Copies of this chain bind each other. A is one copy, B any other.
Amino acid sequence: MVVEDEPADRLFHALADATRRDILRRSVDGELSVSRLAELYPMSFAAVQKHVAVLERAGLVSKTRQGREQLVRTRPDAVRRARQALDHLESLWHGRVDRMADLLAEPEGPRTREAPERKGTDR
């Protein structure tokens, strides 16, 4: 990947795994520790730990120490952020997006070198 540190990349990547989405759902109440979560899936503790780490780097969950356990809690705002990225995409059809707001919304577009030498028949 060219850029890949973009927050949106991490966000959607974190969501692109069934186990991680399941962790998100189960951690809404913030009651479960990493070990408790790990008991729920057919993989090692370390694997689940990594999944939680991916979710954490994406800002989708936070961990809080509670004694020797680390409680995982899904962060509502992050999910909302992801949804808004999609909202923005969807809004393009409804045509209500002026180009200015569009550019401000997500300053992405990896080095979009704005259509160089179009020497050809131009359409």
- Nearest-neighbour CB distance to chain B for A17, whole angstroms, equals 7
Q: Name A residues whose Cβ lies closer than 8 Å to a Cβ of B.
A: 1-4, 6, 8-9, 11-13, 15-19, 21-22, 24-25, 28, 36, 39-43, 74, 76, 79-80, 82-83, 85-87, 89-90, 92-93, 106, 108-116, 118
- Listed by A's residue number, 28 A-B pairs whose Cβ atoms lie within 8 Å are A1-B18, A2-B18, A2-B19, A2-B42, A6-B18, A8-B21, A9-B16, A9-B17, A9-B18, A11-B16, A12-B12, A12-B15, A12-B16, A15-B15, A18-B110, A19-B110, A22-B109, A22-B112, A24-B89, A25-B89, A28-B93, A39-B115, A39-B116, A74-B89, A76-B90, A82-B86, A83-B86, A86-B86
